[in-house]
Amino acid sequence: MLDRIRAAIPALPPAEQRVAKLVLADPRAFASLPVVELAERSHVSKPTVVRFCRSVGYDGLTDFKRKLAGSVNEGVPFVHRSVDEDDKSADIIVKVIDNAVSALLKYRNAAANHAFERAITALAEAGLKGHRIEFYGVGNSGIVAQDAQHKFFRLGVRAQAVSDGHVQVMSATMLRPGDCAVIISNSGHSRDLLDTAEIARKKGATLIAITASDSPLAKFTQSANQVLLAVDHPEDFERYSPMVSRLLHLMVIDILTTAVALRLPGELRATLQDIKKNLRAKRYMRLD
């Protein structure tokens, strides 16, 4: 929400810009102060404060302050960073969705195109040459790895998801140059995944890490044969359930899948069409 306000400032009238700057200077205070004091601090009229709230997409001052409070609080630890204990269902819907959309848009603007290009090229070459593509993850990231394997195997490539720590070690040990090891981790601190990354690197495989940019796992991606697809977000992995991080990781997998599919041979699309056709036969047909 604060990012949205910051981006909207150039398009606002001068008086409303002063209100916006007051919000950004101390959002918690803005959410709690009465309109009279907000107007005085901004050196504007009370109607200008309300107009500002509507200019940035909210129903009025009350709606703006309620959602602002949800954006800047600490949330409920181990549940969600954007909700409060006493939130009603309608508030939870808005807060969870707004939090996710904000994270996705922020990532869109921050994503490193050159890193994606290197990862897509490595994955497409592995698929074309029949090399292995292994997706590694544990816990919640293991589920993302399974989603990646599901999407990639439809492209006719040798893709596998591995979430067991012992099997990851065995799988990484069998990697060879030309293979790709895609390691997915929200925290980047998992010992199993760090061990797997070290083995994959020693075996000469291309290492693609989907993790936070300042994590231990990210430090494995500093040579030419390794790629970091940094996924940074405000969700503290020590305090909250992985919600936004999971959505961002799934989005990264969708980007990789789509780009790799476009680089594989044209006959692949006929195969995908056949898959859809055969899957249609597994559905119940309407009789009416």
| Size (the chain), residues | 288
Clarify whether residues 136 and 19 are in a common domain. Answer: no
Residue 86 lies in a domain: no
Domain enclosing residue 164, as ranges: 112-278
Least confident of 17-21, 104-108, 236-240: 236-240
* Domain limit, last residue, from 41, 72, 103: 72
Backbone angles phi, psi at 190, to 5 degrees: -65, 125
Clarify whether residues 63 and 202 are in a common domain. Answer: no
* Domain limit, last residue, from 72, 96, 121: 72
Clarify whether residues 40 and 174 are in a common domain. Answer: no
Given a contact cutoff of 8 angstroms between Cβ atoms, the answer to whether 142 and 183 are in contact is no
Q: Looking at residue 16, which CATH number applies to its domain?
A: 1.10.10.10
Clarify whether residues 253 and 121 are in a common domain. Answer: yes
- Read off the pLDDT band of 82 (50, 70, 90): low
Q: What's the distance, CA 281 to chain centroid?
A: 34
Residue 94 lies in a domain: no
| Residue-level pLDDT at 204 | 93
Closest CA to 133 of 115, 160, 164: 160
| Residue-level pLDDT at 121 | 95
Count of structural domains, the chain: 2
Q: Looking at residue 140, which CATH number applies to its domain?
A: 3.40.50.10490
Backbone angle region of 88, left / alpha / beta, with phi > 0 → left and psi within -120 to 50 → alpha: beta
- Is the pLDDT higher at 235 or at 46? 46
In the predicted model, what is the mean pLDDT of the chain? Answer: 86
- Is the pLDDT higher at 120 or at 214? 120
* Domain limit, last residue, from 46, 72, 98: 72
Angstrom distance (rounded) from CA 83 to CA 73: 8
Residue 80 lies in a domain: no
Residue 148 lies in a domain: yes
User: CB neighbours (10 Å) of residue 165?
Assistant: 15
Residue 163 lies in a domain: yes
Residue 105 lies in a domain: no
Angstrom distance (rounded) from CA 244 to CA 250: 10
Cα–Cα–Cα angle for 99, 101, 105, nearest 5°?
A: 120
Tokens for 80? 């969600």
- Read off the pLDDT band of 78 (50, 70, 90): very low
Given a contact cutoff of 8 angstroms between Cβ atoms, the answer to whether 138 and 190 are in contact is yes
- For residue range 140-199, list pLDDT tens digits in order: 899 999 999 999 988 888 899 999 999 999 999 999 999 999 999 988 999 999 999 999
Angstrom distance (rounded) from CA 61 to CA 51: 9
Residue-wise burial string across 220-244, b where 16 or more C-beta atoms lie within 10 A, e elsewhere: bbeeeebbbbbbbbebebeebebbb
pTM: 0.70
- For residue range 210-258, list pLDDT tens digits in order: 999 888 999 888 877 899 999 987 666 555 566 788 899 999 999 999 9
- For residue range 27-44, list pLDDT tens digits in order: 888 888 899 999 999 999
